[in-house]
Amino acid sequence: MTPHRAKQCTLDNKKGQKNTAFRMRVLCTVFVFASLVLGSCLASPPDSLRLVAMVYRHGDRSPVEIYPKDINQQDKWPMGLGWLTNLGKQQQYELGQYVKERYHGFINTAHYDQNEIAIESSSITRCLMSAYSHLAGLFPPQGDQIWNKDIKWQPIPVTSRPTKEDNKLALQKKCPKYDELYQRLLDSPEFKAEEERNKDFYEMVEKNTGIKKETLSDIWGVVDTLICEKSHNLTWNDWVYEDGVWDKLDDLRTASFDLLFNDSAMARLQGGPLLKEIIGYMKAATGKERQGPKFYMYSAHDSTVAALLSALHAYDRHQPIYRALVMLELHEIDSEFVVKVLYRNDTTADPYLLIPKGCSESCTLSELIEVTKDTVPDDWEKECQATSSSSHELSPASWIALGIAVGLCIAFVAALIIWLVQFRNRRGASYARLNP
């Protein structure tokens, strides 16, 4: 071997060693990074965690209603209106997997334990379907819970109450006081001014949709339908594509949603009952001999999520997206109970911490109870009683019943008068015969 060739071999060898060392450093870096990521994914929740209450919106659904002139009519939605779609089922299944990963170690995610978790849903079908899809991702059967080797699913109980009796999740139980506050808002000078300011736009929407009357309070119906169509790649009517129309509709939708929980009095009657229940569970969890589940799951609506956040004084006034998730965690840190409110309104990002107005960053349970006194009802039924005279106006059916009752009373009084007159006349005739 020539001196030049030997020198070249030495240089090549050193270069190869450097390349090998570089590759090893890269591999080590990747390994460490992957280990950290995997470790963070599989890491158990902190030992301080004592209780979790979780509220989420259902998954993707078909429109609740379709405007008359929509080119996409009901035949585009074979499941029917307002139903959870296959996309919605997949979304909730994936959300269940996310919860399984997040709370692995706090609850037994490998084996469903009915003593650890309680699940409640709005009785609206899309919420019930969302709950079952979510649980399929959270608790796939393993070991002795496999009841059919061909079905990777197990039945898990979900409780609900009739919609008309639900003031907690469906928010459909009658509350005259809330209706009174909402109507007062619609009658306010600010609302009237908004209607006048956007009068031409509403008239344009009415003309193109076939809806007789559109205002800020009901514009969400049209926008909701368009959102459902967009998520399923359906073509909109031409008028929606005109310059600035969609942005305007979207802004009005946000404003209309804000009307529902405009102040603490409205939030108290809508989000208050659910927050009161969750705080009750947390207070019980601070006892030395607590009983009952340590994980509460609620499958509900966008309005439920927004109402709860409003009652917490932590609502950002934006409509919660499909599968938006609120997690209230109770931690015991240095002998003090701390509540963390976490919100996941973007499925591509980690949940972020919400700090209820009036709370410190480490919001203690006692602080939370104090700052939500104005939004947690003492007696919801009593507080829902209306106070204004307008709230006592009778429905058509009530007017009919009242008319019938008044008519019967008049007939009874008339019959009584006739009988008294006849009775008096008979007495007079008898007296005349006895005294000729």
Write down the pLDDT at residue 388: 58
User: Nearest CA to 252 among 214, 296, 207, 290?
Assistant: 214
φ, ψ of residue 179 in degrees (nearest 5): -60, -40
Read off the pLDDT of each residue in 216-223 and give the average, rounded to a whole number.
Answer: 93
User: Nearest CA to 374 among 352, 357, 397, 388?
Assistant: 357
**Higher pLDDT among residues 281 and 349, named by residue:** 281
Q: What CATH number was assigned to the domain covering residues 49-383?
A: 3.40.50.1240
For the chain, give the number of residues.
436
User: Residues 329, 51: contact at Cβ < 8 Å?
Assistant: yes
* CA distances, 117 to each of 57, 113, 290, 296 (Å): 19, 7, 14, 6
* CA distances, 226 to each of 64, 189, 232, 249 (Å): 11, 30, 10, 10
The secondary element (H helix, E strand) that includes residue 337 is strand 336-344
Mean pLDDT (the chain, rounded): 86
297/110 Cα distance (integer angstroms):
17
Residue 143 has pLDDT above 70, yes or no: yes
CA-only gyration radius of the chain, Å: 32
Give the number of other CB atoms < 10 A from CB of residue 82: 15
Residues paired with 49 in a beta bridge: 331
* Digit-coded pLDDT (tens) for 381-432: 999 998 854 444 444 555 565 567 666 767 777 767 776 666 565 544 443 3
Read off the pLDDT of each residue in 178-206 and give the average, rounded to a whole number.
Answer: 95
Residue 336 has pLDDT above 50, yes or no: yes
Q: What amino acid is encoded at 202 in this protein?
A: Y
- Close Cβ partners of 265 (under 8 Å, ≥ 6 residues apart): 181
Tokens 């393993």 sit on residue: 142
Q: Which two tokens stand for residue 190?
A: 């600010």
Q: What is the pLDDT confidence band of residue 288, given thresholds at 50, 70 and 90?
A: confident
* Digit-coded pLDDT (tens) for 42-66: 457 899 999 999 999 999 999 999 9
DSSP code, position 324 = -
Catalytic center residues = 58, 302
Read off the pLDDT of each residue in 149-155 and give the average, rounded to a whole number.
Answer: 95
Edge-to-edge strands, sheet with 352-354: 117-121, 295-300, 49-57, 325-333, 336-344, 352-354
| Percentage of the residues of the chain whose pLDDT score is greater than 70 | 80
Write down the pLDDT at residue 303: 96
Q: Which two tokens stand for residue 432?
A: 């005349």
Angle between helices 245-259 and 176-186 (to 10 degrees): 140
User: Residues 252, 222: contact at Cβ < 8 Å?
Assistant: no
Residue 221 has pLDDT above 90, yes or no: yes
User: Residues 99, 54: contact at Cβ < 8 Å?
Assistant: yes
User: Residues 69, 334: contact at Cβ < 8 Å?
Assistant: no
* 3-class DSSP state of 154: coil
User: Residues 239, 208: contact at Cβ < 8 Å?
Assistant: yes
Residues paired with 296 in a beta bridge: 53, 118
Per DSSP bridges, beta strands 325-333 and 336-344 are antiparallel
In the chain the first and final C-alpha atoms are separated, in Å, by: 170
Write down the pLDDT at residue 412: 74
